[in-house]
Structure 1
């Protein structure tokens, strides 16, 4: 009888702490004057998109094409576009989930809130977040850009060239080589995007990390930058991260469970 009562008390204490954590997250979000959210692959896996680095992920099934290989070989360029057709077809079929809905709710809550994402799937745009409030530090798989002048190109022109076995088009602005607008292995990060991301993090008073292991650099360093400038740090992720012990609030669970509860409270 005593043991049963003790377990019941512990259960209630755990439940109370769990509820208070959710309420504290909502309080911090509402009190924040500038919130930045960092999202990783974990937010999109719940839409049916495998993590690119997981056992059944894209880079496990397909050997990555190095950036210098792409530059030097038309064969590698065509292979890259063939893979993009496959990925593009998958991305057209999936939709934002409740995690994306929660992010959209926070980002559009006030004009100073911004999103930094490691994802290349475009699901945050589908959820309703304006382009000017998103920094895609690894690029975007639904766009194409010239490697010389950075002019955006119609990605379907390149898909058609592959499907019809035609020569790959060149940039319609400068005649340069065009590539999917993602950061390839061995390709330098976009300095402008990284500088903007760092500035936004330094100016924030609250940072929320969602669905990221924080192992991939340079994104994995952004939480440390946030804490150095006095920002509160919240981590919402299925698995533990190296920043959990330093963060102000941490919930380790599936994002659909976390965000489902948060959407009820916000």
Structure 2
């Protein structure tokens, strides 16, 4: 077997935080948002359905939102090589924590324990009532949509139902964000993977990590606002880059042992 090349920024790393965006899931058949074939690129007006104020005010917007998720590719998607590489890195004994902007649940399906995955923008696998705050499994609500309810309401209080995701104009959960900042600050290496790093405050976790002394490596097809802080910027496809990086980190940790 060929020796694994270990970059300097991989050495002496035991604590790894991974900030993941839509780009890590495109190989699983889930389109990103701002890429050449992204959701917003193909249909800019669809962003209205993902804006909190519009969603709450307009039943037609909510109907379009639910219809979009009814046939969402994530329901059929499987973890790809990048997701699996991170799960393997975790199994290798490094302290891995996932800070994901994605709502698809593929990190957990790849084998990362749910307690090690922080879903910054929520999860499409749950539904919350905006009135009584009751939570339920998303599939039950989607079944109602499939049966003809264009704008399903809460069966307990009649309130508007929302998929358990953070919409534009909606604040991230402060407890989740505080935990993400603590994880970023405690890491020795932060990998920012498949994210444009344009959406705040999630993107600012890169700066939090660097200020605390961590190394930042950006793995993304396009330039990001945080490339200047990075120890390395990787432009190769994520599905090949992450297995290579995970192998280097594992090899470095093994050498120390």
Q: Does 1:185 align with 2:186?
A: no
Partner residue in 2 for 1:217 = 200
Q: 1:72 aligns with which of 26, 33, 57?
A: 57
Following superposition, the deviation at residue 176 of structure 1 comes to 3.8
**Cα 1:179–1:52, aligned 2, differ >3 Å: closer, same or farther?**
same
- Whole-Å separation in 1 of the counterparts to 2:155 and 2:175: 21
Q: Does residue 21 of structure 2 align to residue 37 of structure 1?
A: no
Equivalent position SS for 1:23 = coil
- Are 1:235 and 1:247, in contact at CA under 8 Å, matched by a contact in 2? yes
Residue aligning to 2:33: 52
SS of residue in 2 equivalent to 1:63? helix
Match of 2:125 in 1: 142
Indicate the residue corresponding to 1:168 in structure 2. 152
- CA offsets 1:38-92 (integer angstroms, 9 cap, x no match): 11111111222211223432233252222122222333323221111021xx213
Aligned to 2:235: 252
- 2:104 pairs, out of 94, 112, 121, with 121
Unaligned runs of 5+ in 2: 251-257
- Unaligned 5+ segments in structure 1 are 1-18
Per the alignment, do residues 52 and 204 of structure 1 end up closer, same or farther by CA in structure 2, a change over 3 Å counting? same
Tell me how far 1:110 sits from its aligned partner: 4.2
Radius of gyration: which is bigger?
1
Query: What is the TM-score with the length of structure 1 in the denominator?
Result: 0.80
SS at 2:226 equivalent: coil
Query: Which structure exhibits the higher relative contact order, with contacts defined as CA atoms closer than 8 Å and separated by 6 or more residues?
Result: 2
Q: TM-score, normalised by structure 2?
A: 0.82
Shift of residue 261 of structure 1?
Answer: 3.1
